[in-house]
Structure 1
Protein backbone atom coordinates (compact mmCIF):
# COMPACT_ATOMS: atom_id res chain seq x y z
CA UNK A 1 0.00 0.00 0.00
CA UNK A 2 1.14 3.55 -0.54
CA UNK A 3 1.73 5.69 2.52
CA UNK A 4 -0.30 8.78 3.31
CA UNK A 5 1.46 12.09 2.76
CA UNK A 6 0.47 15.72 2.87
CA UNK A 7 -0.22 15.41 -0.86
CA UNK A 8 -2.42 12.29 -0.66
CA UNK A 9 -4.24 13.24 2.52
CA UNK A 10 -5.90 10.53 4.61
CA UNK A 11 -6.20 7.06 3.06
CA UNK A 12 -8.78 4.49 4.22
CA UNK A 13 -8.82 0.69 3.87
CA UNK A 14 -11.65 -1.71 4.77
CA UNK A 15 -11.43 -5.23 6.19
CA UNK A 16 -13.81 -7.98 7.20
CA UNK A 17 -12.70 -9.33 10.58
CA UNK A 18 -15.13 -12.20 11.11
CA UNK A 19 -18.86 -12.82 10.78
CA UNK A 20 -21.74 -13.40 13.17
CA UNK A 21 -25.16 -14.90 12.45
CA UNK A 22 -28.05 -13.55 14.53
CA UNK A 23 -31.80 -13.03 14.24
CA UNK A 24 -32.33 -10.21 11.77
CA UNK A 25 -34.32 -8.28 14.38
CA UNK A 26 -31.01 -7.69 16.18
CA UNK A 27 -30.15 -5.40 13.28
CA UNK A 28 -33.47 -3.99 12.10
CA UNK A 29 -37.00 -4.20 13.45
CA UNK A 30 -39.34 -6.48 11.55
CA UNK A 31 -36.55 -8.48 9.97
CA UNK A 32 -37.25 -12.13 9.24
CA UNK A 33 -35.10 -15.16 9.96
CA UNK A 34 -31.40 -14.82 10.61
CA UNK A 35 -28.68 -12.83 8.85
CA UNK A 36 -24.94 -13.47 8.65
CA UNK A 37 -23.24 -10.09 8.94
CA UNK A 38 -19.62 -8.94 8.72
CA UNK A 39 -17.58 -7.45 11.53
CA UNK A 40 -16.17 -4.38 9.79
CA UNK A 41 -12.82 -2.75 10.48
CA UNK A 42 -10.94 0.12 8.88
CA UNK A 43 -7.33 1.22 8.65
CA UNK A 44 -7.00 5.00 8.61
CA UNK A 45 -3.62 6.07 7.23
CA UNK A 46 -2.94 9.70 8.17
CA UNK A 47 0.31 11.50 7.32
CA UNK A 48 0.99 11.71 11.06
CA UNK A 49 0.21 8.09 11.94
CA UNK A 50 -2.03 5.05 11.70
CA UNK A 51 -5.42 4.46 13.33
CA UNK A 52 -7.79 1.50 13.22
CA UNK A 53 -11.53 1.96 13.59
CA UNK A 54 -12.91 -1.15 15.31
CA UNK A 55 -10.90 -4.35 15.43
CA UNK A 56 -13.48 -7.09 14.77
CA UNK A 57 -13.51 -10.42 16.55
CA UNK A 58 -10.66 -11.82 18.58
CA UNK A 59 -8.49 -14.50 17.03
CA UNK A 60 -9.62 -16.79 19.87
CA UNK A 61 -12.64 -17.55 17.67
CA UNK A 62 -10.54 -19.02 14.86
CA UNK A 63 -11.47 -22.70 14.58
CA UNK A 64 -13.98 -22.47 17.45
CA UNK A 65 -17.02 -24.68 16.85
CA UNK A 66 -18.76 -24.63 20.23
CA UNK A 67 -20.11 -21.86 22.43
CA UNK A 68 -20.03 -18.58 20.53
CA UNK A 69 -18.30 -20.46 17.73
CA UNK A 70 -21.74 -21.70 16.71
CA UNK A 71 -22.70 -18.17 15.63
CA UNK A 72 -19.26 -16.58 15.05
CA UNK A 73 -17.29 -17.47 11.92
CA UNK A 74 -13.68 -16.33 12.15
CA UNK A 75 -11.49 -17.51 9.25
CA UNK A 76 -7.79 -17.69 10.04
CA UNK A 77 -7.00 -14.84 7.65
CA UNK A 78 -9.52 -12.47 9.29
CA UNK A 79 -7.90 -11.26 12.57
CA UNK A 80 -6.99 -7.61 12.28
CA UNK A 81 -3.26 -8.26 12.75
CA UNK A 82 -3.28 -10.71 9.83
CA UNK A 83 -5.24 -8.26 7.71
CA UNK A 84 -2.71 -5.50 8.36
CA UNK A 85 0.32 -7.70 7.79
CA UNK A 86 -1.10 -8.66 4.39
CA UNK A 87 -0.75 -4.96 3.50
CA UNK A 88 2.80 -4.86 4.91
CA UNK A 89 1.56 -2.84 7.88
CA UNK A 90 3.15 -3.67 11.22
CA UNK A 91 0.33 -4.05 13.82
CA UNK A 92 2.74 -2.65 16.38
CA UNK A 93 2.96 0.59 14.40
CA UNK A 94 -0.73 1.44 14.85
CA UNK A 95 -0.94 4.54 17.03
CA UNK A 96 -4.67 4.71 17.72
CA UNK A 97 -7.58 2.31 18.08
CA UNK A 98 -10.94 4.04 17.71
CA UNK A 99 -13.59 1.75 19.18
CA UNK A 100 -17.12 2.64 18.15
CA UNK A 101 -18.08 0.67 21.25
CA UNK A 102 -16.67 -2.26 23.17
CA UNK A 103 -18.84 -5.18 22.09
CA UNK A 104 -16.84 -8.31 21.30
CA UNK A 105 -17.24 -7.91 17.52
CA UNK A 106 -15.78 -4.41 17.64
CA UNK A 107 -13.02 -4.60 20.25
CA UNK A 108 -11.95 -8.24 19.94
CA UNK A 109 -8.75 -7.46 18.08
CA UNK A 110 -7.56 -4.64 20.33
CA UNK A 111 -4.83 -6.73 21.94
CA UNK A 112 -3.33 -7.47 18.50
CA UNK A 113 -2.39 -3.78 18.21
CA UNK A 114 -0.21 -3.71 21.33
CA UNK A 115 1.19 -0.18 21.10
CA UNK A 116 -2.03 1.61 20.24
CA UNK A 117 -3.91 3.99 22.50
CA UNK A 118 -7.63 3.24 22.63
CA UNK A 119 -9.97 6.17 21.99
CA UNK A 120 -13.39 5.50 23.51
CA UNK A 121 -16.20 7.57 24.96
CA UNK A 122 -15.85 7.69 28.74
CA UNK A 123 -19.46 6.58 29.21
CA UNK A 124 -18.84 3.54 27.00
CA UNK A 125 -15.72 2.53 28.91
CA UNK A 126 -17.55 2.70 32.23
CA UNK A 127 -20.57 0.80 30.90
CA UNK A 128 -18.34 -1.96 29.57
CA UNK A 129 -17.56 -2.95 33.16
CA UNK A 130 -21.13 -2.69 34.45
CA UNK A 131 -22.09 -6.29 33.67
CA UNK A 132 -25.44 -5.28 32.17
CA UNK A 133 -24.76 -6.43 28.61
CA UNK A 134 -23.44 -9.88 27.73
CA UNK A 135 -21.92 -8.66 24.44
CA UNK A 136 -19.06 -7.08 26.39
CA UNK A 137 -16.04 -9.24 27.18
CA UNK A 138 -13.53 -7.44 29.36
CA UNK A 139 -10.79 -9.85 28.28
CA UNK A 140 -10.90 -8.02 24.92
CA UNK A 141 -10.39 -4.46 26.18
CA UNK A 142 -9.25 -4.51 29.82
CA UNK A 143 -5.76 -5.52 28.78
CA UNK A 144 -3.49 -2.75 30.01
CA UNK A 145 -3.45 -0.61 26.90
CA UNK A 146 -3.40 3.15 27.28
CA UNK A 147 -6.98 4.39 27.11
CA UNK A 148 -7.97 7.91 26.09
CA UNK A 149 -11.49 8.41 27.43
CA UNK A 150 -13.20 11.28 25.64
CA UNK A 151 -16.45 13.14 26.12
CA UNK A 152 -18.17 14.25 22.94
CA UNK A 153 -16.35 15.09 19.73
CA UNK A 154 -12.62 14.48 19.51
CA UNK A 155 -10.19 15.47 16.75
CA UNK A 156 -7.81 12.50 16.56
CA UNK A 157 -4.92 14.09 14.66
CA UNK A 158 -5.65 17.73 15.46
CA UNK A 159 -6.33 18.86 11.91
CA UNK A 160 -10.03 18.05 11.47
CA UNK A 161 -9.44 15.14 9.11
CA UNK A 162 -10.44 12.35 11.53
CA UNK A 163 -13.09 13.23 14.08
CA UNK A 164 -15.01 10.94 16.41
CA UNK A 165 -18.47 12.02 17.52
CA UNK A 166 -21.11 10.50 19.81
CA UNK A 167 -23.86 8.39 18.24
CA UNK A 168 -25.47 6.79 21.29
CA UNK A 169 -28.45 4.47 21.42
CA UNK A 170 -27.07 1.06 20.57
CA UNK A 171 -24.96 1.45 23.69
CA UNK A 172 -24.74 4.49 25.97
CA UNK A 173 -21.33 5.57 24.71
CA UNK A 174 -21.36 4.54 21.07
CA UNK A 175 -19.35 6.80 18.73
CA UNK A 176 -18.79 7.06 14.99
CA UNK A 177 -15.97 8.60 12.95
CA UNK A 178 -16.02 11.25 10.26
CA UNK A 179 -13.04 11.14 7.89
CA UNK A 180 -12.09 13.77 5.32
CA UNK A 181 -10.24 12.31 2.33
CA UNK A 182 -9.18 13.70 -1.02
CA UNK A 183 -12.05 11.82 -2.69
CA UNK A 184 -14.81 12.78 -0.25
CA UNK A 185 -16.02 12.47 3.31
CA UNK A 186 -16.61 9.08 4.92
CA UNK A 187 -18.64 8.33 8.02
CA UNK A 188 -17.85 5.04 9.75
CA UNK A 189 -21.16 4.45 11.47
CA UNK A 190 -20.59 1.35 13.56
CA UNK A 191 -23.73 -0.05 15.13
CA UNK A 192 -25.68 3.20 15.31
CA UNK A 193 -26.81 2.26 11.77
CA UNK A 194 -26.61 -1.42 10.88
CA UNK A 195 -28.06 -1.46 7.37
CA UNK A 196 -28.64 0.98 4.54
CA UNK A 197 -32.34 0.26 5.11
CA UNK A 198 -31.92 1.42 8.70
CA UNK A 199 -31.19 4.91 7.40
CA UNK A 200 -33.49 4.83 4.37
CA UNK A 201 -36.45 3.82 6.54
CA UNK A 202 -35.25 5.37 9.84
CA UNK A 203 -35.75 1.97 11.41
CA UNK A 204 -34.00 0.75 14.56
CA UNK A 205 -33.31 -2.76 15.80
CA UNK A 206 -36.04 -4.22 18.00
CA UNK A 207 -33.91 -3.91 21.13
CA UNK A 208 -31.67 -0.92 21.78
CA UNK A 209 -30.20 0.63 24.88
CA UNK A 210 -32.01 3.94 24.36
CA UNK A 211 -34.50 4.34 21.51
CA UNK A 212 -34.62 8.15 21.64
CA UNK A 213 -30.85 8.40 21.44
CA UNK A 214 -30.70 5.81 18.66
CA UNK A 215 -33.25 7.74 16.62
CA UNK A 216 -31.26 10.94 17.14
CA UNK A 217 -28.11 9.22 15.92
CA UNK A 218 -29.89 8.05 12.76
CA UNK A 219 -31.10 11.59 12.17
CA UNK A 220 -27.53 12.88 12.50
CA UNK A 221 -26.31 10.34 9.94
CA UNK A 222 -29.16 11.21 7.61
CA UNK A 223 -28.09 14.87 7.68
CA UNK A 224 -24.50 13.91 6.93
CA UNK A 225 -25.57 11.71 4.03
CA UNK A 226 -27.71 14.49 2.55
CA UNK A 227 -24.64 16.74 2.75
CA UNK A 228 -22.69 14.26 0.63
CA UNK A 229 -20.90 12.04 3.13
CA UNK A 230 -20.49 8.35 2.30
CA UNK A 231 -21.96 6.30 5.13
CA UNK A 232 -20.35 2.94 5.92
CA UNK A 233 -23.15 0.97 7.57
CA UNK A 234 -22.12 -1.17 10.50
CA UNK A 235 -23.30 -4.66 9.53
CA UNK A 236 -24.93 -4.54 6.08
CA UNK A 237 -23.79 -7.63 4.11
CA UNK A 238 -25.23 -6.33 0.82
CA UNK A 239 -23.58 -2.93 1.13
CA UNK A 240 -20.35 -4.46 2.43
CA UNK A 241 -20.12 -6.72 -0.63
CA UNK A 242 -19.72 -3.56 -2.74
CA UNK A 243 -16.89 -2.12 -0.60
CA UNK A 244 -13.42 -3.01 -1.92
CA UNK A 245 -11.44 -4.93 0.68
CA UNK A 246 -7.85 -4.24 1.69
CA UNK A 247 -7.39 -1.61 -0.97
CA UNK A 248 -7.38 2.17 -0.89
CA UNK A 249 -10.99 3.40 -0.90
CA UNK A 250 -12.23 6.05 -3.31
CA UNK A 251 -15.19 7.72 -1.64
CA UNK A 252 -16.48 8.99 -4.94
CA UNK A 253 -17.25 5.39 -5.98
CA UNK A 254 -18.98 4.32 -2.74
CA UNK A 255 -22.76 4.18 -3.19
CA UNK A 256 -24.21 4.85 0.22
Structure 2
Protein backbone atom coordinates (compact mmCIF):
# COMPACT_ATOMS: atom_id res chain seq x y z
CA UNK A 1 0.00 0.00 0.00
CA UNK A 2 1.37 3.42 -0.93
CA UNK A 3 1.56 6.47 1.30
CA UNK A 4 -1.67 7.86 -0.14
CA UNK A 5 -3.52 4.63 0.58
CA UNK A 6 -3.63 3.34 -3.00
CA UNK A 7 -3.02 -0.38 -3.40
CA UNK A 8 0.22 -1.16 -5.25
CA UNK A 9 0.34 -4.21 -7.47
CA UNK A 10 3.28 -6.57 -7.84
CA UNK A 11 4.76 -8.82 -10.48
CA UNK A 12 4.60 -12.57 -9.98
CA UNK A 13 8.13 -13.13 -11.24
CA UNK A 14 11.12 -11.30 -12.71
CA UNK A 15 13.72 -13.25 -14.71
CA UNK A 16 17.14 -11.94 -15.70
CA UNK A 17 18.07 -13.11 -19.20
CA UNK A 18 21.59 -13.03 -20.63
CA UNK A 19 21.30 -10.77 -23.66
CA UNK A 20 24.98 -11.03 -24.55
CA UNK A 21 28.04 -8.89 -23.93
CA UNK A 22 29.33 -5.73 -25.58
CA UNK A 23 33.08 -5.14 -25.75
CA UNK A 24 34.05 -1.50 -26.21
CA UNK A 25 37.64 -0.71 -27.19
CA UNK A 26 37.92 2.48 -25.09
CA UNK A 27 36.29 2.70 -21.67
CA UNK A 28 36.83 6.47 -21.56
CA UNK A 29 33.89 6.84 -23.96
CA UNK A 30 31.79 6.20 -20.84
CA UNK A 31 34.13 7.93 -18.37
CA UNK A 32 35.66 10.93 -20.20
CA UNK A 33 39.25 11.51 -19.11
CA UNK A 34 39.58 8.21 -17.21
CA UNK A 35 40.69 4.74 -18.41
CA UNK A 36 41.61 6.09 -21.82
CA UNK A 37 42.33 3.34 -24.35
CA UNK A 38 41.35 0.51 -21.99
CA UNK A 39 38.79 -2.00 -23.29
CA UNK A 40 35.70 -2.70 -21.22
CA UNK A 41 33.10 -5.48 -21.29
CA UNK A 42 29.49 -4.54 -20.69
CA UNK A 43 26.79 -7.01 -19.63
CA UNK A 44 23.62 -6.73 -21.75
CA UNK A 45 20.71 -8.23 -19.88
CA UNK A 46 17.06 -8.49 -20.82
CA UNK A 47 14.34 -8.88 -18.22
CA UNK A 48 11.27 -11.11 -18.44
CA UNK A 49 8.26 -10.42 -16.23
CA UNK A 50 5.15 -12.44 -15.44
CA UNK A 51 2.06 -10.69 -14.15
CA UNK A 52 -1.33 -12.42 -13.84
CA UNK A 53 -0.45 -14.89 -16.57
CA UNK A 54 0.85 -12.22 -18.95
CA UNK A 55 4.47 -12.15 -20.12
CA UNK A 56 6.28 -8.83 -20.53
CA UNK A 57 9.83 -8.33 -21.79
CA UNK A 58 12.03 -5.33 -21.00
CA UNK A 59 14.79 -5.09 -23.65
CA UNK A 60 15.64 -7.87 -26.11
CA UNK A 61 19.44 -8.09 -25.94
CA UNK A 62 21.94 -8.51 -28.77
CA UNK A 63 20.88 -10.32 -31.97
CA UNK A 64 20.97 -14.01 -31.02
CA UNK A 65 22.25 -14.90 -34.50
CA UNK A 66 25.67 -13.85 -33.16
CA UNK A 67 25.72 -17.07 -31.13
CA UNK A 68 26.90 -18.64 -34.39
CA UNK A 69 29.93 -16.31 -34.46
CA UNK A 70 32.26 -17.17 -31.56
CA UNK A 71 34.19 -13.88 -31.87
CA UNK A 72 31.02 -11.86 -32.26
CA UNK A 73 30.83 -8.88 -34.58
CA UNK A 74 31.47 -5.14 -34.43
CA UNK A 75 28.06 -3.53 -34.82
CA UNK A 76 28.05 0.16 -33.82
CA UNK A 77 30.37 2.74 -32.21
CA UNK A 78 33.24 0.25 -32.72
CA UNK A 79 31.59 -2.03 -30.12
CA UNK A 80 31.72 -5.79 -30.58
CA UNK A 81 28.61 -7.77 -29.70
CA UNK A 82 28.99 -11.34 -28.43
CA UNK A 83 26.21 -13.82 -27.61
CA UNK A 84 26.95 -16.92 -25.55
CA UNK A 85 23.42 -18.37 -25.62
CA UNK A 86 20.36 -17.38 -27.66
CA UNK A 87 17.44 -15.65 -25.94
CA UNK A 88 15.08 -18.26 -27.43
CA UNK A 89 17.00 -21.06 -25.68
CA UNK A 90 16.71 -19.22 -22.37
CA UNK A 91 12.97 -18.76 -22.89
CA UNK A 92 12.69 -22.48 -23.65
CA UNK A 93 14.27 -23.22 -20.28
CA UNK A 94 11.24 -21.50 -18.74
CA UNK A 95 8.84 -23.34 -21.03
CA UNK A 96 8.19 -20.38 -23.32
CA UNK A 97 8.53 -19.48 -26.99
CA UNK A 98 9.00 -15.96 -28.35
CA UNK A 99 5.35 -15.95 -29.44
CA UNK A 100 4.27 -16.23 -25.78
CA UNK A 101 5.57 -12.72 -25.04
CA UNK A 102 2.62 -10.36 -25.36
CA UNK A 103 4.29 -7.06 -24.47
CA UNK A 104 7.76 -5.64 -25.09
CA UNK A 105 9.05 -2.50 -23.39
CA UNK A 106 12.14 -0.76 -24.73
CA UNK A 107 14.55 1.61 -22.99
CA UNK A 108 16.10 2.69 -26.29
CA UNK A 109 17.05 1.39 -29.71
CA UNK A 110 20.78 0.65 -29.55
CA UNK A 111 21.79 -2.77 -30.90
CA UNK A 112 22.33 -4.34 -27.49
CA UNK A 113 18.76 -3.53 -26.43
CA UNK A 114 16.77 -4.08 -29.63
CA UNK A 115 18.82 -6.82 -31.30
CA UNK A 116 16.09 -9.46 -31.14
CA UNK A 117 13.15 -7.28 -32.10
CA UNK A 118 12.39 -9.60 -35.01
CA UNK A 119 11.51 -12.42 -32.61
CA UNK A 120 8.72 -10.41 -30.99
CA UNK A 121 6.99 -8.62 -33.84
CA UNK A 122 3.64 -10.14 -32.83
CA UNK A 123 3.85 -8.51 -29.40
CA UNK A 124 2.61 -5.04 -28.51
CA UNK A 125 5.58 -2.69 -28.19
CA UNK A 126 5.76 0.35 -25.92
CA UNK A 127 8.31 2.92 -27.11
CA UNK A 128 8.78 6.58 -26.21
CA UNK A 129 7.55 8.78 -29.05
CA UNK A 130 10.83 10.73 -29.20
CA UNK A 131 12.79 7.48 -29.41
CA UNK A 132 10.54 6.11 -32.15
CA UNK A 133 10.93 9.30 -34.18
CA UNK A 134 14.72 9.12 -33.86
CA UNK A 135 14.82 5.40 -34.73
CA UNK A 136 12.94 5.90 -37.97
CA UNK A 137 14.17 9.42 -38.73
CA UNK A 138 16.73 10.54 -41.28
CA UNK A 139 19.38 11.17 -38.61
CA UNK A 140 19.37 7.65 -37.11
CA UNK A 141 23.15 7.28 -37.65
CA UNK A 142 23.76 10.25 -35.38
CA UNK A 143 22.35 8.22 -32.49
CA UNK A 144 24.13 4.96 -33.33
CA UNK A 145 21.01 3.05 -34.40
CA UNK A 146 21.00 0.02 -36.71
CA UNK A 147 17.58 0.08 -38.47
CA UNK A 148 18.02 -3.40 -39.98
CA UNK A 149 17.55 -4.80 -36.48
CA UNK A 150 14.07 -3.32 -36.05
CA UNK A 151 12.71 -2.71 -39.53
CA UNK A 152 9.86 -5.16 -38.86
CA UNK A 153 8.51 -2.86 -36.15
CA UNK A 154 7.19 -0.66 -38.93
CA UNK A 155 4.35 -3.19 -39.26
CA UNK A 156 4.12 -4.21 -35.60
CA UNK A 157 1.65 -2.89 -33.04
CA UNK A 158 3.48 -0.02 -31.34
CA UNK A 159 2.07 2.12 -28.54
CA UNK A 160 3.90 5.44 -28.37
CA UNK A 161 4.58 6.87 -24.92
CA UNK A 162 4.92 10.54 -24.01
CA UNK A 163 6.74 10.58 -20.68
CA UNK A 164 5.93 8.24 -17.77
CA UNK A 165 3.45 5.38 -17.98
CA UNK A 166 1.83 3.18 -15.34
CA UNK A 167 1.50 0.16 -17.63
CA UNK A 168 -1.18 -1.78 -15.73
CA UNK A 169 -2.67 1.01 -13.63
CA UNK A 170 -1.48 -0.47 -10.32
CA UNK A 171 2.15 0.75 -10.29
CA UNK A 172 3.50 -2.80 -10.65
CA UNK A 173 5.31 -1.73 -13.84
CA UNK A 174 6.04 1.95 -14.31
CA UNK A 175 7.91 3.38 -17.30
CA UNK A 176 10.02 6.39 -16.29
CA UNK A 177 11.12 8.94 -18.87
CA UNK A 178 14.92 9.39 -18.60
CA UNK A 179 16.14 11.01 -21.84
CA UNK A 180 19.76 11.93 -22.47
CA UNK A 181 21.55 8.77 -23.53
CA UNK A 182 19.25 8.85 -26.55
CA UNK A 183 16.42 11.31 -27.32
CA UNK A 184 13.67 9.10 -25.88
CA UNK A 185 15.49 6.87 -23.42
CA UNK A 186 13.43 5.52 -20.52
CA UNK A 187 13.83 3.33 -17.44
CA UNK A 188 11.51 0.94 -15.60
CA UNK A 189 10.39 0.60 -11.98
CA UNK A 190 8.90 -2.78 -11.09
CA UNK A 191 7.52 -4.12 -7.82
CA UNK A 192 7.83 -7.64 -6.43
CA UNK A 193 6.16 -9.01 -3.31
CA UNK A 194 9.33 -10.38 -1.69
CA UNK A 195 12.18 -8.64 -3.52
CA UNK A 196 10.52 -5.23 -3.29
CA UNK A 197 10.89 -2.43 -5.84
CA UNK A 198 13.62 -2.73 -8.49
CA UNK A 199 14.61 0.07 -10.83
CA UNK A 200 15.89 -1.19 -14.20
CA UNK A 201 17.81 1.85 -15.33
CA UNK A 202 18.60 1.02 -18.95
CA UNK A 203 21.58 3.19 -19.91
CA UNK A 204 21.00 6.13 -17.58
CA UNK A 205 24.42 5.07 -16.27
CA UNK A 206 26.53 2.19 -17.55
CA UNK A 207 27.94 1.06 -14.21
CA UNK A 208 28.15 2.02 -10.55
CA UNK A 209 31.16 4.31 -11.08
CA UNK A 210 29.37 6.25 -13.79
CA UNK A 211 26.31 6.68 -11.61
CA UNK A 212 28.21 7.68 -8.49
CA UNK A 213 30.39 10.21 -10.34
CA UNK A 214 27.70 11.38 -12.78
CA UNK A 215 29.83 10.45 -15.79
CA UNK A 216 28.14 11.17 -19.13
CA UNK A 217 29.33 9.10 -22.12
CA UNK A 218 30.61 11.09 -25.08
CA UNK A 219 28.09 9.31 -27.34
CA UNK A 220 25.06 10.55 -25.41
CA UNK A 221 22.51 12.70 -27.20
CA UNK A 222 22.41 15.34 -24.43
CA UNK A 223 24.75 15.87 -21.49
CA UNK A 224 22.26 18.14 -19.72
CA UNK A 225 19.38 15.68 -20.00
CA UNK A 226 21.65 12.77 -19.06
CA UNK A 227 22.61 14.45 -15.79
CA UNK A 228 18.99 15.35 -15.04
CA UNK A 229 17.96 11.74 -15.64
CA UNK A 230 20.67 10.44 -13.30
CA UNK A 231 19.38 12.78 -10.61
CA UNK A 232 15.81 11.67 -11.23
CA UNK A 233 16.71 7.99 -10.96
CA UNK A 234 18.69 8.57 -7.76
CA UNK A 235 15.71 10.41 -6.25
CA UNK A 236 13.28 7.62 -7.16
CA UNK A 237 15.58 4.92 -5.77
CA UNK A 238 15.82 6.88 -2.51
CA UNK A 239 12.09 7.60 -2.27
CA UNK A 240 11.05 4.03 -3.11
CA UNK A 241 13.82 2.23 -1.24
CA UNK A 242 14.43 0.43 -4.53
CA UNK A 243 17.31 -1.68 -5.74
CA UNK A 244 19.06 -0.06 -8.70
CA UNK A 245 20.05 -2.55 -11.39
CA UNK A 246 22.53 -1.07 -13.87
CA UNK A 247 22.22 -3.07 -17.04
CA UNK A 248 25.83 -2.84 -18.22
CA UNK A 249 27.55 -3.28 -14.85
CA UNK A 250 29.19 -6.69 -15.26
CA UNK A 251 30.15 -6.85 -11.58
CA UNK A 252 26.58 -6.31 -10.42
CA UNK A 253 25.14 -8.56 -13.11
CA UNK A 254 27.29 -11.44 -11.88
CA UNK A 255 25.59 -11.18 -8.48
CA UNK A 256 22.07 -11.54 -9.93
CA UNK A 257 20.52 -14.98 -10.34
CA UNK A 258 19.82 -15.52 -14.04
CA UNK A 259 17.01 -17.52 -15.63
CA UNK A 260 15.61 -20.06 -15.12
CA UNK A 261 15.95 -18.77 -11.53
CA UNK A 262 13.76 -15.77 -10.81
CA UNK A 263 12.94 -13.02 -8.33
CA UNK A 264 9.48 -12.83 -6.78
Give yes or no for TM over 0.5.
Answer: yes
Instruction: Name the CA distance, whole Å, in 2 between partners of 1:13 and 1:37.
Output: 19
In the alignment, does 2:42 pair up with 1:37? yes
Instruction: Name the CA distance, whole Å, in 2 between partners of 1:164 and 1:8.
Output: 15
The unaligned stretches of length 5 or more in structure 2 are 1-8
Corresponding residue for residue 230 of structure 1: 243
- Choose from 55, 60, 63 the match for 1:58: 63
CA drift of 1:113 comes to 2.2
Instruction: Name the CA distance, whole Å, in 1 between partners of 2:143 and 2:227.
Output: 23
Query: Following superposition of structure 1 onto structure 2, how do residues 1-16 of structure 1 map, counting pairs within 5 Å?
Result: 9-16=11-18
SS at match of 2:74: helix
Assess, with a 3 A threshold, how the Cα gap between structure 1 residues 13 and 146 changes in structure 2: closer, same or farther. Answer: same
Deviation larger for 44-53 or 166-175: 44-53
Corresponding residue for residue 211 of structure 2: 199
Corresponding residue for residue 68 of structure 1: 74
Instruction: Calculate the aligned-residue CA RMSD, in Å.
Output: 2.1
Query: Following superposition of structure 1 onto structure 2, how do residues 104-183 of structure 1 map, counting pairs within 5 Å?
Result: 104-130=111-137, 131-133=140-142, 135-143=144-152, 144-182=155-193, 183=195
Query: Following superposition of structure 1 onto structure 2, how do residues 235-254 of structure 1 map, counting pairs within 5 Å?
Result: 235-246=248-259, 247-249=261-263
TM-score, with structure 2 as normaliser: 0.85
**8 Å contact from structure 1 (residues 15, 42) kept in 2:** yes
Instruction: Name the CA distance, whole Å, in 2 between partners of 1:230 and 1:66.
Output: 32
The unaligned stretches of length 5 or more in structure 1 are 1-6, 251-256
SS at match of 1:20: strand
Corresponding residue for residue 4 of structure 1: none
CA drift of 1:74 comes to 1.4
Q: Describe the superposition over 1:21-44 as per-residue Cα deviations: whole angstroms up to 9, x where unpaired.
A: 102123333341110111110001
Corresponding residue for residue 84 of structure 1: 91
TM-score, with structure 1 as normaliser: 0.88
Q: Which runs of 4+ in 1 moved over 6 A?
A: none
CA drift of 1:178 comes to 0.7
SS at match of 1:81: helix
CA drift of 1:8 comes to 7.4
Q: How many residues align?
A: 243
